[in-house]
Amino acid sequence: MKKSYQSLEDNSTYYMKQVIYRSLTSRIVSLCFALLLAFSTSLTAQEGDPVNGKSLYNSNCAACHKLDKPMTGPALRNVEARLADEQGLDREWLSAWIRNSSSLIKSGDAYANKIFNEYNGTPMTPFPQLSDQDISDILAYTAEEKKEPVVVESNTNEGASQQGGVSNDIILGALALLFGLLAMALVLVNRTLNRFAKAKDIEVFTAQEKRTPLWKAFVQNQFLVLVTAIIFLLASGYFVYGYFMQVGVDQGYEPVQPIHYSHRIHAGDNGIDCKYCHSSARVSKTSGIPSLNVCMNCHKSISEVAPETLAEGTEYGVDYNAEIQKLYDAVGWDGTGYTGDSKPVKWIRIHNLPDFAYFNHSQHVEVGGIECQTCHGPVEEMEIMYQNAPLTMGWCINCHRETNVKVKDNEYYTKIHEELSKKYGVEQLTVAQMGGLECGKCHY
């Protein structure tokens, strides 16, 4: 009722000011207006304001209740009408339930006990702080018609990589066609020119008869042959070397994963910390791939992506909702509980050092204070994960030569740092100076 009071006040001050200027009739009119306004607001107040209801619902109830699907608690669409129809329960019961369901259950209320047992005795949080107005706002929100979801067209048949392949092929085909056409055009131009020349009786200059052909001249000039041979050898040596050097280097490796999991959406758009999922990077050698229960911390509630996200997915040719469904199939989640029928997801490993090299994440991330992105690239923009760095020995060594050890606030290093900086006569030690180039540190 606070609201209606306020509007009455506002109107009356308005009215008071006007007293000085206006006649009685206008006074009466504005008084009527004020009364009407107050009356109409108090009417809507009783009915409940679905907009305020929505924000109350989202902050208090949505953790356990969805509007159209049971979650921790039952679906709440039209709950007031439903309970009135089916159980003959009124607003008073609802208010009592919402404010403190457990005392209602303890009081022996039949329906309260029935629904409590139906949901395996999961208690609902009490909300003593909600006023009558708040509760009618929430109920007004639950009584709203269901909005039809926006249908987004998506072609689920083509996987992302497939589509990439197809578009590549098209571009290549177009290029080949272009070259073909060019060649043909050249031939045609040449022919017509020749024909013109013949028609005009100009003699076309043909080199063959008069001079030795070019290739023969070339073969006869031994110096030229030698130089060409050397250039040819050098060039092919360069390419062969390049080819052999990249064997075993997987930079850019981008396999198709069993679940299309996007770092762009999780780490980028939604800003989830890398260590939320790769939590062992804090404390151990490996970063690890999160087990599926970590995914379910969020995906118990997120069973479908927002329509805007779904539309973004069509750009990459994936149906995000189907991918989340794959996650559910793998953990064995049927929307309300675990079925116990789970199967592991076979993620394909991307970054992989040979077994004779030792790399430790916590040492670099926690002790060295290096950001994940320094080595793994712009992960928060990757729709599909790929290997950003070459992971060759040269790459490790380069960084060890250039990077300073973070000695600040690290007691472990105080003594070592003092001794070594005296030895090298420098203030800041690089990893290399600390011994980061010793074979045994990385090879065991």
Partner 1 sequence: MHINMKIATKYIVALVLLVSFVSCQNNSRPNYQYMPNMYESVGYETYQESDAFKNGVEAQLPAEGSIPRGDFMPFEIENTNEGFAYAKANLKSPLDSLQVDYTEGKILYDIYCGICHGNKGDGKGKLVQREKILGVPSYDDVGRAITTGSIYHVIYYGKNTMGSYANQLNETERWQVVAYVEKLKADLEK
Subset of residues 39 to 78 that bind partner 1, contact rule: CB under 8 A: 58-64, 71-72
Binding flag, residue 350, ligand HEC (CB under 6 A): yes
AA identity, residue 50:
P
Bridge partners for 357 per DSSP: 443
15 alpha-carbon distance from chain centroid: 56
Structure tokens at 163: 């589509």
The sign of the torsion formed by the CA atoms of 141, 145, 151, 157 equals positive
Stretch of residues binding partner 1 (CB under 8 A), selected from 24-32, 43-51, 353-361, 417-425: 353-361
Question: What are 371's two structure tokens?
Answer: 């950001």
The interface mask with ligand HEC, positions 31-60, x = CB under 6 A, is -----------------------------x
Beta-carbon neighbour count of residue 65 at 10 Å? 20
Of the pair 21, 205, the CB lying nearest partner 1 is at 205
What is the spatial distance between Cα 114 and Cα 83, in angstroms, rounded to a whole number? 13
Q: Name the residue type at position 342.
A: S
Confirm or reject binding of residue 393 to partner 1 (CB under 8 A). Answer: no
Q: Taking the complex as a whole, how short is the minimal distance between the CB of residue 302 and partner 1, in angstroms?
A: 6
Among 153, 355, 411, 427, binds partner 1 (CB under 8 A): 355
Q: Which of residues 248-267 bind ligand HEC (CB under 6 A)?
A: 248-249, 257, 259-263, 265-267
Sign of CA dihedral 413, 419, 424, 425: positive
Q: Which is nearer to ligand HEC, 38 or 396 (CB)?
A: 396
Show the site string, 268-307: x = touches ligand HEC by CB under 6 A, - = not.
--x-x-xxxxx--x----xxxxx---xx-xxx--x--xx-
CA 120 to chain centroid, in Å, comes to 35
Q: How many residues bind partner 1 (CB under 8 A)?
A: 72
Among 7, 42, 100, 374, binds ligand HEC (CB under 6 A): 374
Residues 278, 267: contact at Cβ < 8 Å? no
Facing residues of 404 across strands? 430
Can you tell me which of 300, 351, 406, 441 binds partner 1, judged by CB under 8 A? 300
User: Min. distance of Cβ 376 from ligand HEC in angstroms?
Assistant: 4
351 contributes a contact to ligand HEC by CB under 6 A: yes
Among 296, 311, 370, 393, binds partner 1 (CB under 8 A): 296
- Which amino acid, residue 216? K
Is 235 a binding residue for partner 1 by CB under 8 A? The answer is no
CB of 126 to ligand HEC, least distance (A): 9
Euclidean distance between CA atoms 367 and 9, whole angstroms: 64
Q: What's the burial of 7, exposed, middle or buried (CB within 10 Å: 0-12/13-18/19+)?
A: middle
